[in-house]
Amino acid sequence: MDALTDLLRGVHARSALLCRSFVTEPWAMAYTPTVKLTVTFVLDGDAWLLVENMAPLRVTAGSVGLVRGRTRFVLASDPSTPPQFDAHQDDCERWRIGTRTYGLAPEGDATVITGSYDVQDVSDRLLNALPPALVVGCDPCATSTLLSEEVAVDRPGQDIVLDRLLDLLLVFALREWFEGDSSNAPGWYHALGDDVVGPALRAVHGRPDRAWTVSELAAEAGVSRALFARRFSALVGVPPLTYLTGLRMDVAADLLAEPGATVTSVARAVGYADGFAFSTAFKRVRGVRPSVVALRA
């Protein structure tokens, strides 16, 4: 398994918050999310995605905008237009159980769709690899059109349909961004294509629970231990075993968020023989004990 597949496998919406807005120029809507990731796109028009300390990003029909974490952002017809509406979590909850539609003019200048992933739906490893906001031009299966149509109806199994369409759109967008010529992509992503480091990355992502040594990882690439260690550190930015420990802790954090997870079971899943050694390593890397993360889930 490669590192990107490992990250995208964790994308899984559950009763995601979705809203369709009909807007007429000049328009601007501010969002203050309390979730990990927001996906947005427009139909029949275009928009500007505005995030503090970033240049405005153009969102056109067929492109997808992503905003990471609890970053306040604005969608507007023009960067200079002040927000006329500020959406908070309470509004999103009403949209979840209501019509999911804001505005009364479907013949307006643009249709804006926003979808939010809740706390446990997106991996921290994925979020840490993204900039605060990005826009990519991709929608190979017209997923955005299907999603917009489904938001407007109320049928049996609707939440599942919306969740899976949102997942599909997000995976398309993330793959497009990672594959593009982006200087924001993390070092490990660029290293995936390296003849020396790539095989080792795929090995550790496939078996993060294995007690890998630097020599074993070098053998995966068919090079000497010293050459492998130097090249890995140069491309990824950290030594091989430091990367492995970080990966294990990221996987552990995701597992701890799952219902019924225990520190002991998670410790074994990421290669630790007992909960004490795992807890010590987790606190050293993440700054809190795993039991605290489990309680927050």
Question: Looking at 149, 179, 209, which one is the last position of a domain?
Answer: 179
Burial of 209 (0-12, 13-18, 19+ CB in 10 A): middle
Does 51 share its domain with 170? yes
Q: Which of 49-53, 91-95, 155-159 ranks highest by mean pLDDT?
A: 49-53
DSSP 166-187: HHHHHHHHHHHHHHS--TTS-H
Location of structure tokens 């309680």 = 295
Assigned domain for 7 exists: no
Q: Is the domain of 19 the same as that of 157? A: yes
Q: What tokens does 18 get? A: 């979705």
Query: What is the CA angle 180-69-143, rounded to 5?
Result: 50
Q: Which residue would you say has higher pLDDT here, 275 or 168? A: 275
Most confident of 99-108, 184-193, 281-290: 281-290
CA distances from 143 to 23, 148, 163 (A): 21, 9, 12
CATH number for the domain spanning 263: value is 1.10.10.60
pLDDT at 172: 82
pLDDT bin (cut points 50, 70, 90) of residue 127 is confident
Q: Judge whether 6 lies within some domain.
A: no
The residue ranking higher by pLDDT, 10 or 279, is 279
Strand partners, 17: 116
Q: Evaluate the omega torsion of the peptide bond into residue 33 and state whether it is cis, within 30 degrees of 0.
A: no
pLDDT band at 56 (very low <50, low <70, confident <90, very high): very high
Within this chain, do residues 160 and 238 fall inside the same structural domain, yes or no? no
Identify the DSSP state of 224: -
Query: Which pLDDT score is estimated for 98?
Result: 42
Say if residue 57's pLDDT is above 50. Answer: yes
Residue 136 and residue 160 in one domain:
yes
pLDDT band per the 50, 70, 90 thresholds, residue 179? confident
My answer on whether 155 and 196 are in the same domain is no
Is 60 a member of any domain? yes
Identify the domain containing residue 240 by its residue range. 188-296
Q: What's the rounded Cα separation, in Å, for the pair 297 and 295?
A: 6
Q: What is the mean pLDDT of the chain?
A: 81
Query: Which pLDDT belongs to residue 88?
Result: 60
- Is the pLDDT at 10 greater than 70? The verdict is no
- Which pLDDT value is given to residue 183? 64
Q: Which of 119, 152, 179 is the last residue of a domain?
A: 179
Tell me: the pLDDT tens digits for 65-120?
A: 999 888 889 999 999 999 887 776 455 545 443 444 555 455 667 778 888 776 55
194 and 175 belong to one structural domain: no
Read off the CATH number of the domain in which 174 is found. Answer: 2.60.120.10
pLDDT in the model for residue 17? 75
Q: Does one domain contain both 255 and 235?
A: yes
Neighbours of 246 (CB within 10 A): 15
For residue 167, is it within any domain? yes
Of the three residues 157, 179, 201, the one that is the final residue of a domain is 179
pLDDT value at residue 266: 94
Q: State what percent of residues in the chain have pLDDT above 70.
A: 80
Q: Report the side by side order of strands in the sheet with 63-68.
A: 101-102, 17-23, 110-117, 37-43, 63-68, 133-137
User: According to the model, what pLDDT value does residue 177 have?
Assistant: 84
Better-scored residue on pLDDT, 55 or 122: 55
Q: Please give the pLDDT value at position 160.
A: 79
Measure the CA–CA gap between 262 and 276, rounded to whole angstroms. Answer: 13
Are residue 240 and residue 115 in the same domain, yes or no? no
* Residues 61 and 81 both lie in one domain: yes
Q: Between 214-221 and 225-236, two packed helices, what is the crossing angle to 10 degrees? A: 90
Are both 16 and 158 inside the same structural domain? yes
Q: Is residue 83 part of a domain?
A: yes
Cβ pair 237, 230 in contact under 8 A: no
Is residue 96, in this structure, part of any structural domain at all? yes
| Cβ partners under 8 Å of residue 122, min gap 6 | 10, 11, 36, 37
Ranges of beta strands (E only) in the chain are: 17-23, 28-31, 37-43, 46-51, 57-60, 63-68, 73-76, 85-87, 101-102, 110-117, 133-137
* 5 occurs within a structural domain: no
Is the CB of residue 185 less than 8 Å from the CB of residue 129?
yes
- Could you tell me which of 68, 44, 286, 290 has the C-alpha nearest to residue 173? 68
Residues 82 and 174 in one domain: yes
Q: pTM here?
A: 0.71
Rounded to whole angstroms, the Cα distance separating 157 from 152 reads: 14
Count of structural domains, the chain: 2
116: in domain: yes
Residue 206 shares a structural domain with residue 287:
yes
Between 197-206 and 225-236, two packed helices, what is the crossing angle to 10 degrees?
80
